[in-house]
Amino acid sequence: MELLYGIFVDPFVQMWEFPDLLVQVLWEGFVSGTLYALIALGFVLIFKASGVFNFAQGIMVVFGALSLVGLYAFGVPAYLALILSIAIMGVLAYSVERVVLRPLVNQEPIILFMATIGLNYFLIGLGEMIFGGEPKTMITEELGLPKGAWDFEMLGGFVSIQRIDAAAAIIAGILVGGLAIFFNKTRIGRALRAVADDHQAALSVGISLNQIWRIVWFAAGIVALATGIMWGARSDVSFALSIVALKALPVLILGGFTSIPGAIIGGLIIGFSEKLAEFYWGPLVGGSIESWFPYFLALIFLWFRPQGLFGEKIIDRV
Amino acid sequence: MLYREAGQFKTNYRADQAVFPIRQDFIGIAALLAVLFLVVPFTFNDYWLNAIMIPTMIFALAAIGLNILTGYAGQLSLGTGGFMGVGAYACYKLVTIFPEVNVLIHILLSGFFAAGVGFLFGLPSLRIKGFYLAVATLASQFFLEWAFGRVAWLYNYNPSGAIEVPNQYLFGVAIAGAPASSVTRYIIVLTIVVALALIASNLVRGRFGRAWMAVRDMDIAAELIGIRLLPTKLLAFSISSYYAGVAGALMVFMWLGAAEVESFDINHSFLILFMVIIGGLGSILGSFLGAAFIWNLPILLRAMPKYFGADINAATVEHVQFMIVGGLIIFFLIVEPNGLARLWSIAKEKLRRWPFPY
C-alpha cells in the first residue's frame, strides 16, 4: 500500500506543492534531452543515407571536443582551433568512407555495425594517444559562449538556468534548422534524400554514393563537434561521455531510425522522462535509475509501435 | 596427404551427419584434447594457466553462448556481460545459501538463473528485430549492472560491494578460493567448457539448430514453413544465457576469485561480441578461435616492446593496443567477414587436395 502510494500519489503531490522544483527538473530534462537529440541526429543522418548503424557517433562527439580542446592546449587560437577541428572531422569522414565503408559496400548491416565498433575503439586509442586520456575542461569563454546562470523568482521559489544550457538549446535549434534547409532546398540535400530512399535508384540517376556518404559523415561529424562543445561545457571532456552517448539509442527507438524530427522529439521525451523518473520515482528503488530507465521506456514503447514515432513502417516480404 | 577422406564410406545418414564425419577430424580433436588435458597442466606454469589458458576457455564459453544467439538464431545481443553477471551472482548466492553443496553443481545450476533472465529479456524479440532488438538487450545490460550495484542482498551486504569466493574442497582437494591451485582450476574449467561445447555443437546440428538458422536467414519464411518463432527465439535466448551464465560463474569462481559490477559491464559484452564476429558467426570452433585471438592479442602486444628492447611507457602501449584492436577488427571484416573459422575451413579444403593444386 505504501509502495503504491509512493508510486501513484506522492510524486504528484510533490509536483503540485513545489512547482518551482518541477520547473527546474523539467529544465534539466530539456537540456539533457537536447544533447541526446543532437547525438541521435548524428546517428539518423548516417543511418538514413548509408544504412550504417554508426556506433562510433558517441566517440565522434568526444573526438571532436577533444581535438578542439587539445588544439587550443597546443597554443592554437580558439576560433582557429574550431575551424581546424571541423577540418579534422572532414578528414575523418573522408577516411572512414575510403577505408571502412567503401570496401564493405553491400555487406550485411551487422558487419557494418561491427566495423563502426572497431572504428569506435580505433578512435578511442587515437584520441588518447594524441591528446591524452585525462578529462579536460572545455574552452567555453574563449569561444564566446556565455557563462553563469539566470535565477528566476517564480512559483514561490527559485529556478536557476545555466546560460550555457540556453545557448546549447539555441545552437541545437539552429543546427536542426540548417540541416532541414540543407536537406530540402539544396541539390546535395535532394541527392541525400534520394540515396536514403533507394540506393540503387539513386545510383541509376547518376548520384555518387561515395560522395554522398562522405558528405553525410562530415555533417554527422559537425553535429558531433557541436554536441561535444555543448556537453563539454556542462561537464568535462572525457571518454566517459561515449557511454552516456549510448542513451541516444533509446531516443532513436522512440523517434525511429530514419526520422530527423523523430530524433529531436524522441530526445526531448527521453530527457524529460528520465529526469522526472530519477527525481520523483528514483528514491523508491535506491536511485540512479537514470542509467536504465530510458531503455525500458523505449522497450515499452516498442511493444506498441515497433517502427518508432516517425519511422517508416517496416514491411517484410518473403 | 594425411588429411583425406578417401576410403571412408558412410552407409547410413547417421554416420554422414556425425559431429566429425571425417575420421582425421576426430583423431585431431582427440589428440588436441589429450594435449590440453594431459600435457598442458604439467608443462605450463601458473602465469600461462592463469593469464592465458583459463580466461581463453571461459571467454570461449561465453562466445559460444552469444554465437548460439547471434550467429545461429540471428538475434543481435549486446547484453552478454549482464547475463554473465547473473550467472556469477546467482552462483555466489547459491554458495551462500547452500554451502554444503559442492560449488561445481552450483556453477552448473547458476546458468539456469541466467537462462531465466535471458528468457525474460528475450520476450521483446518477437515484436522487434535487428538493431531495435540490440537496443532492447542494452536495456538488460544497464538494468542488470544497476541491480548488481544497488541490490545489497546480491552481494551479501558486503560493504565493498564485491563478491568473494569462499574456499571450497572436493575429495580434500581445494577447487575454489585462494588455496585452489591453477592446475585444478584449469582442469575444471576445461572439462566444463569441453562438455558444454560438445553439447552446443550437437544442438546446432540438430532440430533446434536448424530451426534457429531458418529464423536467422528469414524469419517470415521460417514461420511459413511451420517454425514457431516465439519458442524458437526464446529457446535461443535461454540457452545462450545459460552458457553466458556458466561462463560468468566460472569467471568469478575459477579465475578471478572476486568480482564487482565492473567485471560485467558493457565493455565485456562488446569484447565477447568481437570474439564471435572475429571468430566467425555461426561456428562453435570460431568461438574458440575468436576468444583466443581477442584475449591474447593485447597480451601479445604488451609483451612485444620488451622483446624488441624498446622502452615504451604502459599508457602508450594501452592506447596503441586500442588502435590495433579496432583496426584489426575493421581489417578482418573487410578481408574475411566470415571470420577465422572460415579461414580454417579454407585451409582444410587446401589440405585435402595437397600436394595437388586441384
Identify the CA nearest to A197 among candidates A312, A308, A97. Answer: A312
Facing B326 at nearest CB: one of A103, A118, A292: A118
Q: Is the four-CA dihedral B196, B199, B200, B201 of positive or negative sign?
A: positive
Is residue B332 one of the residues assigned to a domain? no
Which spans in B100-259 are helix H? 103-122, 131-150, 182-205, 207-217, 219-224, 229-250
CA–CA gap between residue A73 and residue A77 (Å, rounded):
9
Q: Work out the minimum CA distance from B50 to partner chain A, whole angstroms.
A: 26
Minimum-distance CB partner of A119 among B70, B324, B326: B326
Query: Cα A254 vs. chain centroid, distance in angstroms?
Result: 14
> How far is residue B44's CA from residue B293's CA, in Å, rounded to a whole number?
19
Q: Which three cell numbers stand for residue B91?
A: 552462483
pLDDT tens for each residue of A201-223: 888 888 888 888 888 889 889 88
Asked if the structure places residue B280 within a domain, the reply is: no
By C-alpha distance, which of B200, B240, B206, B218 is closest to B87? Answer: B240
Nearest to B135 among A108, A250, A318 (CB): A250
- In a domain? residue B55: yes
Q: Domain tally for chain B?
A: 1
Report the Cα–Cα distance between both ends of chain A, in Å, rounded: 51
Query: B246 and B147 in contact (C-beta within 8 Å)?
Result: no
What are the structural domains of chain A?
A: 2-304 (1.10.3470)
Instruction: Assess if residue B289 is contained within a domain.
Output: no
Smallest CA–CA distance, residue A285 to chain B, in Å, is 9
**Helix axis angle, A57-73 to A19-50, nearest 10°:** 100
Instruction: Output the CA torsion B39→B41→B42→B43 (10° steps).
Output: 70
Residue contact A121–B224, C-beta within 8 A? no
Question: What ranges in chain A are assigned the alpha helix state H?
Answer: 2-8, 10-17, 19-50, 57-73, 78-95, 109-131, 163-185, 187-197, 199-204, 209-234, 241-244, 248-255, 260-276, 282-285, 293-304
Residue A195: C-alpha distances to residues A54, A183, A316, B63 (Å) = 17, 12, 21, 36
Q: Is B296 among the domain residues?
A: no
Residue B208 belongs to a domain:
yes
Shortest Cα–Cα distance, B4 to chain A (Å): 34
ipTM of the complex: 0.80
pLDDT tier at B199, thresholds 50, 70, 90: very high
User: Does B142 reside within a domain?
Assistant: yes
Query: Residues B149, B262: contact at Cβ < 8 Å?
Result: no
Nearest CA-CA partner of A309 in A34, A23, A40 = A40
pTM of the predicted model as reported, rounded to 2 decimal places: 0.86
B23-70: pLDDT as tens digits: 777 888 888 888 888 887 888 887 888 888 899 999 999 999 999 998
Higher pLDDT, B259 or B209: B209
Q: What is the domain extent for residue B47?
A: 37-265
Q: Distance (Å, rounded) from C-alpha A251 to C-alpha A302?
A: 12
Is residue B219 assigned to a domain?
A: yes
Task: Using pLDDT thresholds of 50, 70 and 90, give the confidence band for residue B192.
Answer: very high
> What does the pLDDT read at residue B245?
93
pLDDT value for A274: 82
The yes-or-no verdict on residue B242 having pLDDT over 90 is: yes
